[in-house]
Structure 1
């Protein structure tokens, strides 16, 4: 006789369903456990019992000939299917999947599996969201709250699954026709259940989505079910386990069977035997807030607990849910400030955990894709470091470079860029290659972003761009996407760049983004077609920065002034590299001129602006000397004069050798300083002239003293020299030797 079959309709990733399911299995003690999942991946189920397996993980199935056609079946600790598999392995019960094989799903290009809600599409509200329909009938605003109150929190086990079956039977009687693929899935599961019932020596437990229970319990002829499966497309497939992440269990990530708050579900599962889980949750909120510098008292936590229970009673809920505890925490712990809650909500409700898989897991598709690309690019992984030079104008050189850059985007630095060119039109790259064993592990970890090197690199960079608040760092990520040949990520990042640049008025952020933008445009030559859509963005950012610069440079302290000075110099180099001339360069130079004439502009930045105009031949030597004479005049406060001196002359030592008017202006200011002020500013002078080598320093000394090179060779200011040399000569020689290497 066929064994007894018990159907347990669960919610994917429901902690209450998982708890009740384990209780029901303990009562039933089935000899065989059947789980909704791809039947051709059943051989991987025992790995869930491996101590090295830590959730969240996902069963990954992919087409052998095309790994980009892949499906993921995620599991968390609180997933009922995961707990059922662990229960069966611990007791030696039969265990297998019963859904359509992955080869069938992939043959239909069905997309990501396990998304039960997304599978039932169409205009029928019942098949689209059956839980939502039940919730609306019960007076709830959403299915999440209804399922939690009625199913997840019910104290008894057996009646829960009976009630679910009755509710779904009623719903399906009112629903329209289900899609053909759903009918095939249920037919396949019925066939597998019937086979298991004949073969099993004891009760059979079937764990499936609640929506399928009525269809699996109904009597259907074997011939009719087989007819539904006849002629379905199939492909050769492979399956493995892959690490998953807690954020990807959230519905907000696009996972149709996901939950609103994975962190809350994990809390419900971890505290399933605790009587004070709301107190534990609030204590966790308090701990996170304290770690972020917020003051939270114990009394406030107690008041939040009381308010949470009061809100649950007012809302006729059997127990405070995360909405009640959230509202209580905002009121009592965050002082009513929703922004404080938003600061911790992602860490608390979503989490950031990543699963791990055993070392003997079957080879993952990213490794297979890497092997294929290594073979195509004729790059053999070696443990010893070796140099590789690539010409990006050749097809093979560009392909190798693209592969290495994509791996770098995945944090797999098989190749390290060496002596990368910074000039426009550089078509050569130098790499140092060295393969490390842990790179294979990193590739497996990146399976959460995609099943091919290109897909994973796109997904990882896209996630990083989405989370990056800094404009300069975002531009760097866009550049990484460009040079890695990832148009999807590059286009996404460019859109973010444009949006963030349009919304920001932060001059420093705009300036800091320009060097990466210039690099993007430079790489547009070597990687044809990748940077064309950025040609208009950088000029707009230059104009925005130029308009904001005069106001951003006013009344700054030393540290922010130095940061803005460095950003201005880097932006000037980027503008030249990108060859932005005409009106754009004119607007930029007009902003620099305004800095020179603004009395409130920080002198360090005004000096840097004057230097750039002088180097661009927009200030003559006479104008520069006049400006220096005015800025360094005896009536100017020494700190301001020293700031302008540093801003203008840092890195310009060679220019002083050949520019007599400029040198005379500097010399006049130096000789006008009293001894105490000169000694106090000596570190500044040393820093300004530190770029000069011994030969350049000697030539500058000769020029300052009006001597020939042969006569001045070897001069050094010695103790007591001030009494012998004229004061200005001693001062200049002391300045020169202040920067000399000892």
Structure 2
């Protein structure tokens, strides 16, 4: 058996390992290829070589009774395991996985997992990072650089795998005992290797992580290995292939270690001929140019020279990733690391998405999505197209519910554009566009449930449990109701009631009202949503009204602006919800209290006055009287400007129609000295910029008692010189400059 078995110790996702492995397989011509991987998924392994399989992809294994319990095993083009599988299929060799079954990992109890984690944390540094130990012995600062020089980027051929085996054997001499799982893994692989050697008449190639080579080469009794496998956990599993993405390859999750720079690894794999340094720097310059940065050919040549010089200074056989990165920053980015950071993600990680053959058995969420796509007659398309839904029809409501549930799963197949802006609340306008990455996101959401509805509910419930802000929590409840997820809705309502009862934060209470009003607005189109909030929203309105006078006191500018926006949104929500008259009266009383509170921030008081004025609860003469008092000469300019902004920002049209308000503002402006006027000019411009050309002309006509502006336009400023000589320059500046033009 010893003469028939060849062990190839590789590094997961290593392009150099992959290239050397293909060369070794071509020379060996084995009749069987055994790969480190879950043995119960061996029947799916040949699919890697299917013509329509596009990497990156991941082998997904999940517990049949609990799909949320899942494991991923990603593969890229430059993964040695992927290349070994493709080689075996091309040459008709037997192909199988030999590691512990996925049912072992997925069947482990919480206690087993905790014990394994504890054992891993107690491992010595060599077993945790054998490559790092070898790098230290060779005088390198890190394992990445050493492995790249010796394996990944070494242009010279040689007995690489024999050298790796010798190095690992030396490292494992006198090692601490392995954890139960690691010992079982190696025992299982030895048993599978022995079985293959017995069944096959010819050479057998074993592709495994370099660390395992010495243990798999040992002669151990079959009985001893079987004893290590007794009592191992088991569960029924399902396995399939799922599309993966380049960004996810860079994460240290699933099978093998995360790839630091997938783009660089792909470059090493794809560039088999030519100068790798020059080709890589050409890619860097192209990406920089695509981002609008100027890069000359001379700079690329200088970067290549600098990279080569750095490699020589560091004793490396050729420039590696670190040298070329530093050379690119110095020569192509003008020494600015921020410029490199601008392109690093695109260059080093990329946005590639894999694809799987149509005949591949799908994960539960993907299967459920396909069923619902057929039921709703929604075909996934890469091109963006509009979709208008009438929620009064059964088909429209079902389609809308599916799209909202997918959005809850962070799968934005549809983007809602202007729901409720036409035909009341019964119409939704979507923009649909399917991205391949959405399939990966669905697979990732398996931990929340095996159907679209279950997963969406589970994800929203988890988000609700973590959310501390009342307004955001109300938005999550709205999402659950619109997506027709009763379980999540019930949890969210309970959480809302609890948080609302415990909070006295007026800002938080106000922030919860707009999403609640949206829910009530959807009530007519989506049965069963209104009753959930019929009692809760009025309670929160009352709480917010009671807290408002205290919330509005002595605020700085950013806090006042934030509260002002919340008050305006809450007032609109209260109107939209059409609450009981007593509740609305309580809200208006709270706004009225701000007008007589000397400690209330003037911006907030002005906003309250405007809302009462628009609701016809503040008469025109009283509003003018209030304006005159708030803008009186004895009032500090900053406070007067705050009240003016609160009242008129976004509502400057009031000055056209209300002569008394206009007179109060006119008198205030006339009383300002030059410095105060100049300091508040941005405020005036902001208020009046909301008026269009016609409205500004009408305001000028009203200001100078003219009955028609005609085509004279802003020549009215000349009349201002006679009526208001002291402020001619101010009138010209205010009505003809910048934002007011």
- Trace 1:393-542 onto structure 2 (pairs within 5 A): 405-410=404-409, 411=411, 442-443=438-439, 446-450=442-446, 452=449, 453=452, 480=479, 518-519=514-515, 526=532
Q: Matches of 2:187 and 2:548 in 1, distance apart?
A: 61
For normalisation by structure 2, the TM-score amounts to 0.65
The equivalent residue for 1:239 is 239
Q: Matches of 2:576 and 2:481 in 1, distance apart?
A: 17
Question: 1:243 touches 1:445 (CA, 8 Å); kept in 2?
Answer: no
The equivalent residue for 1:42 is 42
Question: 1:8 touches 1:206 (CA, 8 Å); kept in 2?
Answer: yes
Question: 2:73 touches 2:254 (CA, 8 Å); kept in 1?
Answer: no
1:233 Cα deviation (Å)? 1.9
The equivalent residue for 1:181 is 181
- Once the two structures are superposed, residues 7-66 of structure 1 have per-residue CA deviations (whole angstroms, 9 ceiling, x without a partner) of 000000001100111111111111111111111111111211112111110000111111
Q: Secondary structure at the match of 1:140?
A: coil
| More off after superposition, 587-596 vs 310-319 | 587-596
The equivalent residue for 2:325 is 326
Indicate how the Cα distance of structure 1 residues 315 and 386 shifts in structure 2: closer, same or farther if over 3 A, else same: same
Q: Secondary structure at the match of 1:336?
A: coil
The equivalent residue for 1:674 is none
The equivalent residue for 1:728 is none
Q: Matches of 2:17 and 2:224 in 1, distance apart?
A: 32
The equivalent residue for 2:651 is 648
The equivalent residue for 2:731 is none
The equivalent residue for 1:317 is 316
Indicate how the Cα distance of structure 1 residues 55 and 226 shifts in structure 2: closer, same or farther if over 3 A, else same: same
How many residues align? The count is: 602
- Trace 1:571-582 onto structure 2 (pairs within 5 A): 573=572
Question: 2:376 touches 2:399 (CA, 8 Å); kept in 1?
Answer: no
Q: Secondary structure at the match of 1:318?
A: coil
- Once the two structures are superposed, residues 101-138 of structure 1 have per-residue CA deviations (whole angstroms, 9 ceiling, x without a partner) of 1122211159999xx99995424212211112222222
Q: Matches of 1:110 and 1:233 in 2, distance apart?
A: 11
Question: 1:546 touches 1:587 (CA, 8 Å); kept in 2?
Answer: no
The equivalent residue for 2:722 is none
Q: Matches of 1:219 and 1:569 in 2, distance apart?
A: 78
1:576 Cα deviation (Å)? 8.9
- Trace 1:130-141 onto structure 2 (pairs within 5 A): 130-141=130-141
Q: Secondary structure at the match of 1:71?
A: strand
Indicate how the Cα distance of structure 1 residues 31 and 134 shifts in structure 2: closer, same or farther if over 3 A, else same: same
Q: Matches of 2:645 and 2:377 in 1, distance apart?
A: 53
Q: Secondary structure at the match of 1:174?
A: coil
The equivalent residue for 1:60 is 60
1:586 Cα deviation (Å)? 5.4
Question: 2:183 touches 2:228 (CA, 8 Å); kept in 1?
Answer: yes
Of 556, 561, 571, the match for 1:547: 556
1:198 Cα deviation (Å)? 1.6
- Trace 1:156-175 onto structure 2 (pairs within 5 A): 156-175=156-175
Q: Matches of 2:277 and 2:592 in 1, distance apart?
A: 60
The answer to whether residue 345 in structure 2 is matched with residue 383 in structure 1 is: no
Q: Secondary structure at the match of 1:235?
A: coil
The equivalent residue for 2:357 is 358
The equivalent residue for 2:343 is 344
Q: What root-mean-square deviation, in Å, do the aligned CA atoms of Structure 1 and Structure 2 show?
A: 6.0
- Once the two structures are superposed, residues 673-722 of structure 1 have per-residue CA deviations (whole angstroms, 9 ceiling, x without a partner) of xxxxxxx976337999xxxxxxxxxxxxxxxx9xxxxxxxxxxx999xxx
Structure 1 stretches lacking a partner, 5+ long: 391-396, 422-428, 466-471, 495-510, 554-563, 598-605, 633-640, 669-679, 689-704, 706-716, 720-742
Structure 2 stretches lacking a partner, 5+ long: 379-388, 465-470, 496-506, 520-528, 578-582, 632-643, 668-690, 700-706, 712-741
The equivalent residue for 1:196 is 196
1:612 Cα deviation (Å)? 3.7
Q: Secondary structure at the match of 2:68?
A: coil
1:624 Cα deviation (Å)? 3.3
1:266 Cα deviation (Å)? 1.1
The equivalent residue for 2:624 is 625
Q: Secondary structure at the match of 2:106?
A: helix
The equivalent residue for 1:558 is none
- Once the two structures are superposed, residues 372-402 of structure 1 have per-residue CA deviations (whole angstroms, 9 ceiling, x without a partner) of 9x9xxxx994439885799xxxxxx9x9999
The answer to whether residue 684 in structure 2 is matched with residue 684 in structure 1 is: no
Q: Secondary structure at the match of 1:139?
A: coil
1:346 Cα deviation (Å)? 1.6
Indicate how the Cα distance of structure 1 residues 400 and 617 shifts in structure 2: closer, same or farther if over 3 A, else same: same
Q: Matches of 1:84 and 1:97 in 2, distance apart?
A: 11
The equivalent residue for 1:216 is 216
Q: Secondary structure at the match of 1:67?
A: strand
Q: Secondary structure at the match of 1:349?
A: helix
1:539 Cα deviation (Å)? 9.4
Question: 1:546 touches 1:588 (CA, 8 Å); kept in 2?
Answer: no
| More off after superposition, 6-15 vs 340-349 | 340-349
The equivalent residue for 1:147 is 147
Indicate how the Cα distance of structure 1 residues 87 and 335 shifts in structure 2: closer, same or farther if over 3 A, else same: same
Question: 1:5 touches 1:206 (CA, 8 Å); kept in 2?
Answer: yes
- Once the two structures are superposed, residues 567-623 of structure 1 have per-residue CA deviations (whole angstroms, 9 ceiling, x without a partner) of 9854764699999987999599999974599xxxxxxxx9x8863463478966335
- Trace 1:686-705 onto structure 2 (pairs within 5 A): none
Q: Matches of 1:333 and 1:514 in 2, distance apart?
A: 51
Q: Matches of 1:516 and 1:282 in 2, distance apart?
A: 52
Question: 1:386 touches 1:432 (CA, 8 Å); kept in 2?
Answer: yes
Question: 2:22 touches 2:83 (CA, 8 Å); kept in 1?
Answer: yes
Q: Secondary structure at the match of 1:313?
A: helix
Q: Secondary structure at the match of 2:66?
A: coil
- Once the two structures are superposed, residues 313-343 of structure 1 have per-residue CA deviations (whole angstroms, 9 ceiling, x without a partner) of 1222221111111111222222222222222
Question: 1:31 touches 1:204 (CA, 8 Å); kept in 2?
Answer: yes
- Once the two structures are superposed, residues 528-550 of structure 1 have per-residue CA deviations (whole angstroms, 9 ceiling, x without a partner) of 9x9999x99x999x979963359
Q: Matches of 1:301 and 1:112 in 2, distance apart?
A: 54
Q: Matches of 2:206 and 2:553 in 1, distance apart?
A: 63
1:179 Cα deviation (Å)? 0.8
Indicate how the Cα distance of structure 1 residues 549 and 439 shifts in structure 2: closer, same or farther if over 3 A, else same: closer
Q: Matches of 2:296 and 2:597 in 1, distance apart?
A: 55
The equivalent residue for 1:733 is none
Question: 1:622 touches 1:661 (CA, 8 Å); kept in 2?
Answer: yes
Q: Secondary structure at the match of 1:96?
A: strand
Q: Matches of 1:200 and 1:133 in 2, distance apart?
A: 37
Q: Secondary structure at the match of 2:140?
A: coil
Indicate how the Cα distance of structure 1 residues 571 and 89 shifts in structure 2: closer, same or farther if over 3 A, else same: same
The equivalent residue for 2:291 is 292
Indicate how the Cα distance of structure 1 residues 586 and 54 shifts in structure 2: closer, same or farther if over 3 A, else same: farther
Question: 1:134 touches 1:143 (CA, 8 Å); kept in 2?
Answer: yes
Question: 1:267 touches 1:281 (CA, 8 Å); kept in 2?
Answer: yes
1:72 Cα deviation (Å)? 0.6
Question: 2:243 touches 2:437 (CA, 8 Å); kept in 1?
Answer: no
1:197 Cα deviation (Å)? 1.1
Q: Matches of 1:618 and 1:591 in 2, distance apart?
A: 22
Q: Matches of 1:592 and 1:210 in 2, distance apart?
A: 71
The equivalent residue for 2:88 is 88
